[in-house]
């Protein structure tokens, strides 16, 4: 198999995997009711345990901030392929869109006993 054929096969497999959300995901109609068309045109979205609806109706300010950031977010093939060490360019770009609004990464731990 040539290098070009191997790369195309890798892209085809990734494309197939990305098209099929888990069987436990919310119905697509629920996702479409929660998210604006601009986001649905730009991204493939899956919601689990009604997360999109809960965020939209339970935390409308935060939902608006996430939607605004996603509308501004652009991802390139180069960003995907470039190694990132501890953090690739993609989460850095998302952080730049949200950090000035008070969004910060945090770690949550808990004991289930």
Q: Bin 49: left if φ > 0, else alpha if -120 < ψ < 50, else beta.
A: left
Q: Which residues, other chains included, contact 101 with Cβ-Cβ below 8 Å and sequence gap of 6+?
A: 65
| pTM for this prediction | 0.72
Please list the pLDDT of the chain residue by residue as tens digits (113 residues). 778 877 776 766 665 555 666 778 999 999 999 999 999 999 999 999 999 999 999 999 999 999 999 999 998 999 988 887 778 899 899 999 999 999 998 888 888 87
| Residue 26 zone, left/alpha/beta (φ > 0; ψ -120 to 50; rest) | beta
Number of neighbours of residue 52 by Cβ within 10 angstroms: 22
């Amino acid at each position: 198999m040539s290098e070009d054929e191997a790369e195309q096969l890798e892209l085809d497999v990734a494309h197939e995997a990305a098209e099929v959300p888990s069987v436990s995901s919310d119905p697509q109609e629920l996702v479409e009711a929660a998210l604006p068309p601009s986001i649905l045109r730009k991204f493939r979205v899956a919601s689990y345990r009604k997360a999109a609806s809960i965020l939209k109706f339970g935390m409308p300010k935060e939902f608006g901030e996430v939607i605004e950031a996603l509308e501004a977010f652009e991802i390139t093939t180069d960003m995907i392929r470039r190694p990132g060490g501890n953090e690739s360019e993609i989460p850095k770009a998302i952080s730049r869109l949200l950090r000035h609004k008070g969004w910060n990464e945090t770690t949550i731990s808990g004991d289930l006993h």
